[in-house]
Amino acid sequence: MTTTVTRRLRPPDGYHFSRTVRSLLVVRHDPCGRLADGEFWLSARTPEGPASLQLTRTGAELTATGHGPGAGWIVERADAIAGLRDDLGDFPALAACHPLVARLAKTFAGVRFPATGLVFHRLIRAVLEQKVTGIEAHRAYRAMVKHFGEPAPGPAGLLLPPDPEAVAATPYWIFHPFGVEQRRTQALLRCAVAAMRLERCGDSAEATRRLVAIPGIGPWTAAEVVRTAYGDPDAVSVGDFHIPNTVAWALAGEARGTDARMLELLEPFAGHRGRVCELLAAGGIAAPKFGPRMPIRSFARF
């Protein structure tokens, strides 16, 4: 029996729907979601079963429609997924302390942090994104989702995120043709085993503690996950190849920066440090480049 649940949401003035929800999808094509013509779809494995969420923007309203056994759960959380539970708090006052951050905060004032409440789906992407280019990681993600390939509820033709139990039971050599080497595969399998405990975490801090206790998961991966699953605006991706340089360049005019220097420069924005990093990325701010780009490889050929 098909279950459908509908709810209407009222975003604040100036809310930017597309920019807010786009971060939940892999660029170009995501088998688990779609954004086009003011309509957003996302499939999920909720605590109540598989579901798909449809968010439609009509004038000043959002209509949230859930499909599948988990429809009630995902529609109840639709406002968080749309970023409507993201509270800017004292950020406007903090942003005013730096002219560039103040300008970006004004330009992207309608963008909010989504909070899906779903850890393992984002964790798959974060593990696959470790130490490789985005093109490599997203290619592997699409191949992995298609391999596990369960249809999501609803009419959008989406696939569900991989089932953690199925992932945990899959040997390494299945992942190799996706372009995922043994190190990332082993981290992914450990995460799949711990998925149930991770999904039960009460907040971002607890999830971070549990994540970094898993071998192969460090602060970078944990921050990438909790920023999406919990909408944590303070989560900084320590260990990133680009972000320390971007922050040093944007906030201090220094072409290169370390993680320690990045955290020092972000300290005045405590509580919203991740939000500042996201604003810099949205504004296209980048440090000068002095070397060749990282090559795009395929571990499937190794």
Q: Write out pLDDT tens, residues 187-211.
A: 999 999 999 999 999 999 999 999 9
Angle at 236 between CA 190 and CA 52, to 5 degrees: 60
CA 25 – CA 138 distance, rounded (Å): 10
User: Residues 4-57: pLDDT tens digits?
Assistant: 999 999 999 999 999 999 999 998 899 999 999 889 999 999 999 999 999 999
Q: How far is the C-alpha of 222 from the C-alpha of 227, rounded, in Å? A: 9
Q: Output the pLDDT for position 261.
A: 98
DSSP state of 39: E
CA-based torsion, 181, 22, 255, 98: positive or negative: negative
Q: What CA–CA distance (Å, rounded) separates 231 from 87? A: 10
pLDDT at 294: 60
Nearest alpha carbon to residue 250 among 223, 274, 289, 276:
276
The pLDDT of residue 289: 84
Q: Which residues contact 157 (CB under 8 A, 6 or more apart)?
A: 151
pLDDT less than 50: residues of the chain: 1
Contact 161, 124 (CB under 8 A): yes
Read off φ and ψ for residue 61, nearest 5 degrees.
Answer: -115, 155
Give the closest residue to 216 by CA, choosing from 237, 195, 236, 189. 189
